[in-house]
Amino acid sequence: MLLDLHDELASRHVALCIVGAHAQLRDLLRAEGLAEKTDSSEWLRTLDSVLGEGNASDRPGPHQQQSLAP
């Protein structure tokens, strides 16, 4: 299901950003292949930190990113 969501968003040039993922969830995400399709280095970050960075940098703002927090 998340791979389908990732692919649908990617076809619209929207990044799927997973944040706040704890150990068991990270294991499941890796097993499903999402580590290769998303920025797994952000999985430990908070939603606030990712959205704040989006406002402060050249990266797309929160209106262009879709985030999934557990």
What integer pLDDT is reported at residue 56 of this predicted model?
56
Domain residues for 63? Answer: 2-68
Who contacts 19 (Cβ-Cβ below 8 Å, separation ≥6)? 42, 43, 44, 45, 46, 47, 49, 50, 67, 68, 69
DSSP 70: -
- Model pTM greater than 0.85? no
Pick the residue with more confidence: 52 or 59? 52
pLDDT tops 90 at residue 65? no
As for how many domains the chain has, the answer is 1
Size of the chain, expressed as the number of residues it contains: 70
